[in-house]
Amino acid sequence: MPPIQHPSELEPKLKQEYIELVCNNVLEAAYRALEVTSTEDDTNWTMGTLPYGRVHGRFKRLHRDPTLPWLLLTNRTMDFTLSVNGVLMQVVMDDPEIRKKGYRLQSNRVELYQASLLGPAIDKNITWRLYVDSDGNFDGPKLTASILGFDTNRSLVCKWVHDYVPLFAPRTTELPQEVEIEEPLVARRDKDADQNATRDADPINE
């Protein structure tokens, strides 16, 4: 049985507008981080750690946004976990197809605590992960955001790939066309003439 395509089909709380906003912010923060890690001095380590840190920082900021009461950052550790309308979701920088970081499917303290409140696991007790992946192109990497859902046996039951829409206008390195401005003619001011004109304008007291 193929995985269900959209998360809302398994978990109605994951509304389309919610997960699109989350994914757009993840990718925007990651792209902006990559802009400043594209120098000759950058390594795979800097290009991997800075985007993750920037994504973490983005959700710290969104957590304080009063217009997004449904989006919370439940912990501030390296395995930071989002609460999207009450649904927990870790953010993982990894290939969603190969998933080298298999340990990130393990529940962290926040998820274990919520599971203890819900009681024994049931079929719909899905583990949600938001994967952010790069195609590895050093000159201009393309990032993707995918939301994956796993059942209690860690079998994939949901996979959805976000269609990224930039939240900001792309930057350009092109400079505006030069415009020649003529230098103004400078005339020497005649102070004596100004003083005489002022005296001629003074009223005469009779």
Per-residue pLDDT tens over the stretch 5-28: 899 999 999 999 999 999 999 999
Contact of 131 with 145, CB cutoff 8 Å:
yes
**DSSP bridge pairs for 88:** 83
CB atoms < 10 A from the CB of 162, how many?
19
Residue 19 CB neighbour total at 10 angstroms: 23
96 or 1: whose pLDDT is higher? Answer: 96
Judge whether residue 134 has pLDDT over 90: no
pLDDT of residue 178: 58
- What residues contact residue 133 under an 8 Å CB cut-off, 6+ apart? 93, 94, 95, 96, 143, 144, 146
- The partner residues of 84 in beta bridges, in order of sequence, read 71, 87
Measured torsion, CA atoms of residues 51, 55, 61, 64, in degrees rounded to the nearest 10: -170
C-alpha distances in Å from residue 62, one per residue of 25, 68, 151, 194: 9, 7, 29, 63
48-57, 136-145, 171-180: which is most confident: 48-57
Least confident of 35-44, 51-60, 142-151: 35-44
- pLDDT at position 204, please? 45
156 contacts 148 by C-beta, under 8 angstroms? yes
- The residue type found at 96 is P
pLDDT tier for residue 164 given thresholds of 50, 70 and 90:
confident
- Residue 123: pLDDT band (50, 70, 90) is very low
CA distance 60 to 111: 19
Give me the chain's average pLDDT, please.
Answer: 82
Using pLDDT thresholds of 50, 70 and 90, give the confidence band for residue 4.
Answer: confident
Residue 24 to residue 168: CA distance in whole angstroms: 10
For 169-192, how does the pLDDT look when each residue is reduced to its tens digit (9 = 90+)?
Answer: 444 444 455 556 666 665 566 655
Q: Are 154 and 147 in contact (CB under 8 A)?
A: no
Distances (CA, A) of 156 to 7, 34, 105, 199: 12, 30, 11, 94
Question: What integer is the mean pLDDT of 102-118?
Answer: 87
Q: State the pLDDT at residue 206.
A: 44
Q: Which residue's structure tokens are 């946004």?
A: 65
The pLDDT score that the predictor gives to residue 177 is 59
